[in-house]
Amino acid sequence: MQVVLDKGPVGHRGALIEGGNVVEWLFDQRDELRQGMIVVGRIDQVLKGMDAAFVDVGGEQNGYLNVKETREYQEAKLGEEEPPALSSVLKVGVYVLAQVKKEAAGTKGPTLSLLLQLPGVYTVYMPFGGYVAISKKMQSEDTRKEWRAALTPLMQEGEGMILRTSAENVDYEVIETEIKELRGKYEALSTEHKPGTILYDESSVEHRVARDFLGDEQVEIVTSDAALAKKWRGNERVSWQRQSVWKTYELQRALEKTLQSHVWLRNGASLRIEQTEAMTIIDVNSTKFTGKTNLNETAFQVNKEAAEQVARELRKRNLSGIILIDFVDMKHEKERQKIIAAMRQALRADSTITNVIGFTALGIMEMTRKKTSPSIWERVTRSVREEIPWRLEEELWQLEQELLELDEDVLVIGMSNRLKQAFEGSLLAHDETRRIVVKELDDRDHYRILQTGSHAEIDGNSR
């Protein structure tokens, strides 16, 4: 398994690769509240009838907070008491520490929680959790019991934690140290800032890779970001390369393929994936696959491979919400149950919560996947109201990667006015080790390398 990363104008971007194929995209987002961020919020409106509140988090859209995401509700629930109404818990104008549970999408603002969670490599620290949970993926029930008994005394009043699967063979002292570090991060947070101030952010690609992959002996990390490679230089599985990994691993072609609605399967069948605002609809077509047995066996074989591919596509495209899958018709309930089992098995590789509900009377499989961030399609086809539209951003990425691969002392670049404005805000535009001369072109959002060379060569040609 490989994690490959480039550094560009809006942070890092790259992919998680298994067997030569992209299984998950990694994108930093620009100036957006992302899942896991802890921000200062101010209660703007309390909706008594809905037991919910709108919270000012500094943007155009207020965040949404349900009473179930408050400490008071959590404590009442754990104590088997009557939960309080939100109006008795929060008042308009009160400042709170809120965590982004679900990112903003379309006209909806972010979904918030006051039940903060701070993730580490081996644990998730919950200041108001009130319980200790052990990953169910740990194979031994005795091991889970031992961990729960050892960690419960470590919790202070009201605290809670989740022990990750990766901690199964780790020493207790390592877990204790991590909990103390995460507790210290929480205690350093303060509401004495304006609404929207980001106090805690480990949602970036860099933090996620460090947390989830840096300690994994099965993962190789390749990056063109020299600063990041230097930061992780103590890890022998981290390597730096001068050329853009986006080019080396042909990720642009892979991304364009990810955005296509049509997906061919190895057996000649295909999927058609349509993403709407309300749901995602996937149609399975036998197409070129005829099979070597009877019609019902052919349908089962197509559907089994389709289920496995659907699971991969959901993860890679980051599709979520309601998902309907129209498999090739099967006559027997036994075969439908096998397809449900195959789907659930394939989804085990996906860290996002999924729920396969089953087949409807019309033979449509229903399932859900928890939405925590925009799909790849939503991120790439972002609104034209944004300051730097996707195509312009893509040109800026390509330009910066091309400049990183050039060694000449002087570079003369022609670019559009819009691209020039975006480029002037990047680090490479202020590179003091060489001279970059920008000339304006009429081309919309494009650039051309006009000249490269030494100072003498470029200055001589300009005379």
Q: Decide: helix, strand or coil at residue 330.
A: coil
pLDDT at residue 431, as a whole number: 61
- Taking a C-beta distance cutoff of 8 angstroms, is the pair 29, 10 a contact? yes
Q: Going by DSSP bridges, is the β-strand pair 354-359/52-56 parallel, antiparallel, or unpaired? A: unpaired
pLDDT at residue 460, as a whole number: 62
| Average pLDDT, 10 consecutive residues per value, the chain (463 residues) | 84 91 87 84 90 90 92 84 83 93 83 93 90 85 89 92 86 93 92 87 85 85 91 87 87 88 88 90 81 73 94 96 94 93 94 93 94 80 47 70 74 81 65 76 72 73 56
- In 10 A of CB 62, how many CB atoms? 21
Quote the distance between the C-alpha of residue 386 and its chain's center: 20
Strand partners, 415: 440, 447
Q: What are phi and psi of 239, to 5 degrees?
A: -130, 150
Quote the distance between the C-alpha of residue 178 and its chain's center: 23
pLDDT at residue 383, as a whole number: 39
pLDDT at residue 126, as a whole number: 95
Of 1, 33, 37, 46, which Cα lies nearest the Cα of 20? 1
Tokens coding 400: 């910066």
Overall pTM > 0.85: no
**435/439 Cα distance (integer angstroms):** 13
Q: What are phi and psi of 418, to 5 degrees?
A: -65, -40
pLDDT at residue 278, as a whole number: 85
pLDDT at residue 462, as a whole number: 55
Q: Residue 11 burial by CB count (10 A; 0-12/13-18/19+): exposed, middle or buried?
A: middle
Q: Going by DSSP bridges, is the β-strand pair 270-275/262-264 parallel, antiparallel, or unpaired? A: antiparallel
